[in-house]
Amino acid sequence: MTLQEREEVAPLNTLLEKISLTRQLFDFNTNFAEITDKLFDDWGKQAYNAGLPGLQRKADQVKKVVRELHKFPDFQAPLEMLYQQALINSVSALENYLRDIFVDKVKVEPDKAIKELKDIRIPTSFIKENGLDLTEYFGEVIMEADRDINFQDLQSTRRTFSRYLQIDICQKMDRKIMENVVLAHAVRHIIIHKNGIIDKRFVSQIKDTRHKSGYSLGENLKLEKNFIKQLIDSIEDFAMFVNNKL
């Protein structure tokens, strides 16, 4: 995304829209049951009105069978992959939000970042390609030059806002929200890069959270649908807290 394109995006609204879309996945099972119930209820009523009680009983039997389908492992496996993808998308959306809100904040308070820029080398190719007025794009310049910035890591995110803007974005934040975001970051990494196998990095990331006792090195990651939804809710809560703080 170019600098001009970034300016046209409302960061928080974009994040909330993506999270809202992912939440629709979690209603799938319920909607599936409701739709099939209505379908076979209508079928049964038509059979009853037509004087076909045997067909009505058949409709009731089929309804019960179909309603149980969503509990079968073969049906659940694809859904679990969708739930994991929903979490991955939410984590990525949070990263983009934090990048954009950092840039916006530096634009408002560039003086706080100027002293740090003394020690940063700005690639001339970056300046040339974007035709930059550096006072306007301090935030982008910082992220291009400071390779330690990682908005998919909560510690790095806090350091970045603290170093360049003298703001602790997590001060007074509910620790449960922070720990859920840390876990969400860790989960995203092993799903994408480790095929869902818990590695040392994952264990290290969550070692200071309440989640540390729930996972073992080398095991397959297993997350319940409702817990994934909690993590996505925490991502939204985190973004809202940061937005209000800034």
Q: Which domain holds residue 158?
A: 3-24+75-245
- Asked if residue 36 belongs to a domain, the reply is no
How far apart (Å, rounded) are the C-alpha atoms in residues 216 and 49?
59
Collapsing DSSP states into helix, strand and coil, what is residue 170?
A: coil
Residues in the chain: 246
- Asked if residue 178 belongs to a domain, the reply is yes
40: confidence class by pLDDT, cuts 50, 70, 90: low
Tell me the mean pLDDT in the region 204-228. 87
Tell me the mean pLDDT in the region 225-240. 91
- Asked if residue 32 belongs to a domain, the reply is no
- Give the model confidence (pLDDT) of 135-190 as tens digits: 677 788 788 888 899 998 999 999 999 998 999 999 999 999 999 999 999 999 98
Instruction: Report the pLDDT value the prediction gives residue 221, as an integer from 0 to 100.
Output: 85
Instruction: Report the pLDDT value the prediction gives residue 97, as an integer from 0 to 100.
Output: 87
Total of domains in the chain: 1
Percent of the chain exceeding pLDDT 70 equals 66
- Asked if residue 54 belongs to a domain, the reply is no
Percent of the chain exceeding pLDDT 90 equals 26
210: confidence class by pLDDT, cuts 50, 70, 90: very high
Collapsing DSSP states into helix, strand and coil, what is residue 220?
A: strand
Name all contacts of 216-222 with Cβ < 8 Å and 24+ positions apart.
220/196, 221/187, 221/190, 221/191, 221/196, 221/197
- Asked if residue 11 belongs to a domain, the reply is yes
pLDDT at 68 over 70: no
Instruction: Report the pLDDT value the prediction gives residue 7, as an integer from 0 to 100.
Output: 47
60: confidence class by pLDDT, cuts 50, 70, 90: confident
pLDDT at 91 over 90: no
- Alpha-carbon torsion 43, 48, 51, 53, what sign? positive
- Asked if residue 35 belongs to a domain, the reply is no
pLDDT at 237 over 90: yes
- Asked if residue 129 belongs to a domain, the reply is yes
- Give the model confidence (pLDDT) of 6-27 as tens digits: 444 456 777 787 778 777 666 6
pLDDT at 103 over 90: no
Mean pLDDT for the chain overall = 78
- Asked if residue 58 belongs to a domain, the reply is no
Collapsing DSSP states into helix, strand and coil, what is residue 197?
A: strand
pLDDT at 201 over 70: yes
Which of 38-47, 81-90, 95-104 has maximum average pLDDT? 95-104
* pTM over the 0.75 mark: no
